[in-house]
Structure 1
Amino acid sequence: MKRCTPALTSKTSRALAIAGLAALLCAAAPAQAQQVPGGMGEMRNFPDASLRGNLTVLAGSQATLNGNPIRMAPGMRLFSPQNTLVMLHTVQGQTFKVNYLVENSTGMLLSAWILTEGEAAQARKGSDTIQFNFRTESDPLKK
């Protein structure tokens, strides 16, 4: 025996349309929340104390920062341009342009962020310019 489905009333069809629209809106919201920083011109926010430099990860807890040896802190975190953690052993021997933080009490490298081209183009205090908080008589005068 065949059964017929009842005809949809206008109230039922409106309720289904609203439910479908709500489902579409709910499905789109998580996708927007998962956008990756560094893509489509988005810039990450770095701590004000972070500096700019070139980081080369060596074996173990050793690295070079702007050509000078530096030890990495035991909890050192290296972030990719997508802001995900990078395992240090996977990038040994590679050099990256980074923003970095050095731990004040130990002088060890605490955090570093591998920069995108857009982030690297922004001016930041670091290896490109040497700044001192004092002057001597032998310093050339700058106008």
Structure 2
Amino acid sequence: MNRCLPPHFTARTVSGIAALVLGALSAPATALAQDVPPGLGIVRNFPDASLRGTLVVQSTVEAQLNGQPIRMAPGMRLFSPQNSLVFLHTVIGQRFRVNYVLEASTGMLLSAWILTEGEARQPRKGSDTVERNFRAESDTAPARR
């Protein structure tokens, strides 16, 4: 096995190739390292079953959702406004406006997305609104004075 460079390679050629390779590797890394401002260029599509609420992470397994205690599913995922995963232990005690999905069979919190200002302004069904499938007589009657 020949471990020497061929005669047409010089130290200058090798250093030039190394500079090109390092330049190519460092360019994408700087582009990825830049923070994406919240809500710019990212359009997130939330599941139809997702609801709106306020989430406070109390530990890695427990949280408060709209002021009520809730357990988090073992595979619970919390997404940042840039849609990257957030480690739960890093946000203990913080309050977030979120869209969330509950696990159907256990009722545990399965996924939550921390909302940007623009996403929070969009209407979404949640426990902070009153929704019902009936109408009372008082809803249509004019107010008495």
TM-score by length of 2: 0.66
Superposition CA RMSD, Å: 2.6
Q: Which residue of 2 aligns with 1:73?
A: 73
SS at 2:139 equivalent: coil
Q: Which residue of 2 aligns with 1:9?
A: none
Map Cα deviations across residues 18-54 of structure 1 (whole Å, 9 max, x no partner).
xxxxxxxxx9xxx7xxx95943264311001100000
Shift in Å, 1:96: 0.1
SS at 1:98 equivalent: strand
Work out the CA distance in 1 between the residues paired with 2:65 and 2:140: 28
Which consecutive segments of 4 or more residues in structure 1 shift more than 2 A? 35-43, 132-135
The answer (yes or no) to whether the contact 2:57–2:94 under 8 Å persists in 1 is yes
Q: Which residue of 2 aligns with 1:58?
A: 58
The answer (yes or no) to whether the contact 1:37–1:43 under 8 Å persists in 2 is no
- CA, structure 1 residues 62+36, in 2 after alignment: closer, same or farther (shift >3 Å)? same
Identical pairs, percent: 70
Q: Which residue of 1 aligns with 2:139?
A: 141
The answer (yes or no) to whether the contact 2:39–2:118 under 8 Å persists in 1 is no
- CA, structure 1 residues 142+121, in 2 after alignment: closer, same or farther (shift >3 Å)? farther
Work out the CA distance in 1 between the residues paired with 2:47 and 2:113: 11
- CA, structure 1 residues 62+140, in 2 after alignment: closer, same or farther (shift >3 Å)? farther
- Higher mean C-alpha displacement, 119-128 vs 74-83: 119-128
Work out the CA distance in 2 between the residues paired with 1:75 and 1:36: 26
- Higher mean C-alpha displacement, 126-135 vs 104-113: 126-135
Q: Which residue of 2 aligns with 1:110?
A: 110
Which residue identity lines up with residue 65 of structure 2 in the other structure?
Answer: L
Unaligned runs of 5+ in 2: 1-26
The answer (yes or no) to whether the contact 1:78–1:112 under 8 Å persists in 2 is yes
- Higher mean C-alpha displacement, 37-46 vs 72-81: 37-46
Work out the CA distance in 2 between the residues paired with 1:103 and 1:37: 31
Work out the CA distance in 1 between the residues paired with 2:37 and 2:60: 29
Q: What does 1:1-143 align with in structure 2 at a 5 Å threshold? A: 38-40=38-40, 42-134=42-134, 140-142=138-140
